[in-house]
A and B are shown apart, each in its own frame.
Chain A
Amino acid sequence: MIPGPARVILLLTSAALLLAGCGLDSPMTTVEPKSDLGRAIHELFMNISGWALLIFVVVEALLIGVVFAFRDRPGREEPRATHGHLGLEIAWTLVPVIIVIAIAVPTIATIFKTNARPPREALAIEVTGHQWWWEVRYPELGIVTANEIHLPVGRAVSLSLKTADVLHSFWVPQLGGKRDLIGGKLNNLTFTADVPGEYPGQCAEFCGVSHANMRLLVVAQSTADFEAWAGRLKAPPAPPSGEAAKGHQAFLAGGCVACHTIQGVAAGVLGPDLTHIGGRKTLAAGILKNTPDDLARWLKDPPATKPGALMPKLGLTDDQVAALVAYLRSLK
């Protein structure tokens, strides 16, 4: 039998392990925010957690203490039958009322702050969820890309969120909370990243068989780096040569053009835009690194990596795969 104190020990151990865990690399953590939105949420979270911890300690201590103090022992008298106490009832109704007010006031303030209209100078980005990848457009810059969002630190970004099929939810934990992508509804998420870095995110609304494989990467960078990136994406990729030229032919000859867009080459709309895929950090909605090996693996059998993927196993030969890898990697 484990005595009451063992529970406390268990909790303390857990807390110690949590602290140890914080030292580990956790790129999707919610407790080290890197944006104004994330900080506002975290501040409120810490506020409410403080109250929760206080209530937890007081009530659990009371419970354990009462059970210990009044446990049956030889010689203990038959208890008096007390039926209630009005003063106590009022007191322990008022205490939660006060705590609820203490939590509700900053909550409502933060709700209105985080739902404010995006500022006029915000960078507009349109994010469209697909089963199971993210389409990303910068209407002001004329950039179309997928699964990787670049944004400048220090400038608000206004994400317009919509879906091409089922519900999804946009969530990059270090940059703040999530917002759902809902058919027939245009949603918005506005925040300002304030620390440069790469922040992984993931779809947070169950969206079918490969829900777990719908990831994304946000790259927050200095204004100069962002402009350089935008400049690169606005320009068409360099014409292919050598092995890449063979890949270019394979791309045209194979079924690729039916689904994918490469500026000046193909205009399919079912799959992600590949115009600058060679410059992206990840493949297949954040589940593979953008290396020649992983790209080849993907091309050979997409559903093996992402169950249910719309892109079928095309039955490409090793030569074709090698050529396509060279071509796609040249698209920077």
Chain B
Amino acid sequence: MTRGVWGWITTVDHKRIGILYGVTAFVFLLVGGFEAALIRLQLARPDGAVVSAGTYNELFTMHGTTMVFLAVMPLNAAFFNYIVPLMLGARDVAFPRLNALSYWIFLFGSLFLNASFFVNAAPNAGWFGYANLTAKQFSPGANIDFWVISLQLLGVSSLIAGFNFIVTILNMRAPGMTFMRMPVFVWMTLVTQFLIVLAFPVITVGLILLLFDRFFGTNFYNPGAGGNPLLWQHLFWLFGHPEVYILILPAMGIVSEVLPTFARKPLFGYPVVVYSGMLIGLFGFGVWSHHMFTVGLGAVVDSAFAVGTMLIGIPTGVKIFNWIATLWGGRIRLTTALWFALGFIAMFLMGGLSGIMHASPPVDMQQQDSYFVVAHLHYVLVGGSLFGIFAGLYYWWPKMTGRMLSERAGRWNFWLMFVGFNVTFFPMHFLGLLGMPRRIYTYAGGLGWDLWNLVSTVGVFILALGILVFIGNAVASLRSAAPAPADPWDGRTLEWAVSSPPPEYNFRNIPTVHHRDELWALKAGRAPVEAAPPPPREIHLPPPSFYPIVVAAGVVLAATGALTHLALVVAGALVVVFGAYRWAFEYRSSLGGGLRPPSDASPRGLRGQSPRSSGPR
């Protein structure tokens, strides 16, 4: 393992890439949160004057775009990267260098998007960027160009990761790990990756058409020239609705791991939970027009999409019942990870119920584009996705860092976030019902909105305090906490069979899997304890590579050229070709290089090394 900064830049280790994703995404979570705090300050009182109208529109656009693409998706990606190969009993992902490329494009794309603030041209047409406001005629600045190109970059990153994880999950499972023995988190990752590879091409097309409209004067979305602004809405939501499940399914996977561990029971109805996840993913592609109930698509279309949307409530409800049944009869240890998982169920349920309300087109005629929808989506994406992610953070932190987090601080973290979240977002239901539209930078007093807006703004600071407690907890843990054992929670799945953090090669011997909860079965003496095979003489791992970051830099150079000068586009393309060429022939010289595992034999083939050993160099 190469040390230092250079080691991180050239790493192809899924665990290091996972940490890179996690840290980067967490920083952007703070950035998006800061934008949200400014939004709430502006709206705390009627006729607010904290920011100007133009700045406000940039803030809500960047808040949405940041939270979806730069925070929640990559936080999930952090877990995909770190945990999935461990759960599968694999040494790495299928394409380690592509994995690094995916991260670097994500990082550069995120920086590119946020660079727009420094040239005073942050995107300002909403994260949904409805045509034809995005046309050059109505948005002449570079704001929308930044948005279009960044989203394309982030889409490339997501697609690369999507294919990588599909291949990894299909091909890299340890012997004996049949599909129906895979942990549910792996299942939900797999479903999510299929959603990504099917949904992102749609927005890519939509963005290319927009890019042509803006850069080359085509008229795809220009109604004045025979184009159709509704085309954008269909393309965007055909991507955008599956995107919601891309954000929430991994959290459902995390919860499905956390509940069994802390209830000390297997997941109730495993196959049903898996199939429900697939159904949610599948239905997710057939409901996009429920974002368009006020467009006037006609009674038949509205009815069909209403029923389709309501159907999603069924597998979702089934999942919730199975989670509760998992807890039933258990011996529930109320750890912070479990509190967040319980918070997920409680809050996601509320988001689901308000979702059923505007699944009904006539009701949606009142709720669409009102604060009721803002409340709904935050119950799904904060109370749902983010609480799920925090459950995962507290659950896997010892595995990822080799240190324990404070449970006492964890509880403060959870309850501050839980109360802050509800104080912030529950009043938005009232605001929506009282007629407050979304995306307004100001409002007049006397509309009955003043009190709830103030309450909501207060809530943000409670929520932020909760996040601060997490940061403090994390820092304290990394500095001085007790080393984490391999299996601090009495876990059930393979990641707990190796040390915390795992050695670079994960498993000295690739385990053979006999059960769904393999480690649990092993600990209970239900799995055959095989005589440990002799440790392999050497383990082949892909060597570090410089070329992923080179290719990513080329891609971003070309993107920068799109906004500045054609020469940079050409230069970027050349860098990409150079990087890809060197990448292709890189291994010729390094074949045969391998790692020598330590020779101390553990009684079970599964066990990694003693804690805190970081493996050979």
CB-based contact B268/A108 at 8 Å: no
Cβ of B611 < 8 Å from any Cβ of A? no
Pick the contact of A209: B54, B322, B365 (CB < 8 A).
B54
- B324 partner residues in chain A, CB cutoff 8 A: 59, 62-63, 66
A161's nearest neighbour on chain B, judged by CB, is B296
Which residues of chain B are within 8 angstroms of A96 by Cβ–Cβ distance? 313-314, 317-318
User: Pick the contact of B266 from A82, A108, A111 — CB < 8 Å?
Assistant: A82
Quick check: which of A72-80, A216-224, A239-247, A293-301 contacts chain B, the rest being far away? A72-80
Asked if A206 contacts B439 (CB within 8 A), the reply is: yes
B333: min CB distance to chain A, Å: 5
B270-A55 in contact (CB<8A): no
Q: Could you tell me how many residues of chain A have their Cβ less than 8 Å away from some Cβ of chain B?
A: 99
Bound complex: CA A306 to CA B490 (Å): 61
Contact between B313 and A28 (Cβ–Cβ < 8 Å)?
no
Contacts A67-B342, A84-B268; is A18 near B331 (CB within 8 Å)?
Answer: no
Cβ-defined contact, B133 with A166, below 8 A: yes
Point out the residue from B264, B299, B322 that lies within 8 Å of A79, measured CB to CB.
B264
A266 contacts the other chain (Cβ, under 8 Å)? no
Q: Which residues of chain A in 86-111 are interfacial with respect to chain B, using CB atoms and an 8 Å cutoff?
A: 88-89, 92-93, 95-97, 99-100, 103-104, 107-108, 110-111
Is B53 an interface residue when CB atoms closer than 8 A count as contact? Answer: yes
Q: Are A84 and B270 in contact (CB under 8 A)?
A: yes
Q: Is the CB of A21 within 8 A of B224?
A: no
Chain A proximity of B267: nearest CB distance (Å): 8
**B447 contacts A307, C-beta separation under 8 Å:** no
B126 lies within 8 A of chain A by Cβ: yes
- Contact between A2 and B436, CB atoms less than 8 A apart: no
Shortest Cβ distance from residue A249 to the other chain B in the assembled complex, whole angstroms: 34
Q: Is B507 an interface residue (CB 8 A)?
A: no
Q: Which of A175-227 contact B (CB under 8 A)?
A: 176-180, 182-185, 187-188, 200, 202-213
Set of chain A residues within 8 Å of B330, measured between Cβ atoms:
70, 79
Asked if residues A112 and B299 are in contact (CB atoms below 8 Å), the reply is: yes
B318–A81 contact, CB under 8 A? no
Residues of A within 8 A of B307 (CB): 100, 104, 108
Q: Are A187 and B296 in contact (CB under 8 A)?
A: yes
Residues 359-409 of B at the A interface (beta carbon under 8 Å): 359-370
Rounded to whole angstroms, the CA-CA distance of A277 and B125 in the bound complex is 32
Query: By the criterion CB–CB under 8 Å, are B270 and A83 in contact?
Result: yes
A177 near B365 (CB under 8 angstroms)?
A: yes
Chain A residue, CB-CB nearest to B269: A84
Partner of B328, one of A7, A25, A70, A81: A70
Query: Taking A112-B299, A204-B370 as contacts, is the C-beta distance between A56 and B427 under 8 angstroms?
Result: no
**What is the bound-complex CA distance between A208 and B54, given in angstroms?**
9
| Cα A99 to Cα B317 with chains together (Å) | 11
Which of A44-52, A150-158, A313-321, A323-331 is the contact stretch?
A44-52
A100 pairs with B328, CB closer than 8 A:
no
- Given the known interface contacts A29-B435, A111-B306, the answer about A173 and B133 at a Cβ–Cβ threshold of 8 Å is no
The 4 closest A-B pairs by CB, nearest first: A177-B365, A28-B435, A26-B448, A183-B223
Q: Can you list 10 residue pairs at the A/B interface with Cβ under 8 Å?
A: A11-B426, A30-B432, A55-B349, A62-B324, A72-B331, A96-B314, A112-B299, A180-B296, A202-B437, A205-B369
**A interface, CB within 8 angstroms of B:** 1-2, 7, 10-11, 14, 17-18, 21, 24-31, 40-41, 44-45, 48-49, 51-52, 55-56, 59-60, 62-63, 66-67, 70-72, 76-85, 88-89, 92-93, 95-97, 99-100, 103-104, 107-108, 110-112, 114-115, 131, 165-167, 169, 171, 173-174, 176-180, 182-185, 187-188, 200, 202-213, 287, 307-308
